[in-house]
């Protein structure tokens, strides 16, 4: 009887190890799919935003044609730098003890 219990305990432990390995594999697989899904969701959201505001999109395209893409990229780079700086500054001020 004790031998049967030991065999059952060994089988249970082997099953638990196998289940743990399978859970890890599933978690890795779903993380990759979730990342792809997030990109797709973001693309759909952008497309819906453009479809909801065709006048704004048309104005941006007209501005890009009139001003030129290099100048707009320069403005975007400065804006991104300013945005990053203000975010870091806001976090630093918020977390700073008084």
Cβ pair 50, 57 in contact under 8 A: yes
Give the model's pLDDT for residue 64: 86
Q: Are the C-beta atoms of residues 22 and 16 closer than 8 Å to each other?
A: no
Q: Please name the helix (run of DSSP H) or strand (run of DSSP E) that holds residue 83, with its range, or none.
A: helix 69-95
Domains of the chain, residue spans: 1-52, 54-98
**Predicted model pTM:** 0.41
- Encode pLDDT of 61-71 as tens digits: 898 899 888 89
Q: pLDDT tens digits for 7-52?
A: 999 999 999 999 999 999 998 888 888 888 888 888 899 889 888 9
Task: Give the model's pLDDT for residue 50.
Answer: 85
**What average pLDDT is seen over the chain?**
88
CB 27 within 8 A of CB 35: no
pLDDT value at residue 69: 82
């Amino acid at each position: 009887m004790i031998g049967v219990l030991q065999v059952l305990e060994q089988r249970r432990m082997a099953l638990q190890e196998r289940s743990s390995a399978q859970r890890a594999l599933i978690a890795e697989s779903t993380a990759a799919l979730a990342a792809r899904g997030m990109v797709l969701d973001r693309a759909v959201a952008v497309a819906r935003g453009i479809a909801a505001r065709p006048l704004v999109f048309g104005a941006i395209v007209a501005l890009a044609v009139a001003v030129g893409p290099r100048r707009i990229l320069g403005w975007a780079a400065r804006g991104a730098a300013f945005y990053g700086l203000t975010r870091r500054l806001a976090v630093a001020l918020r977390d700073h003890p008084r």
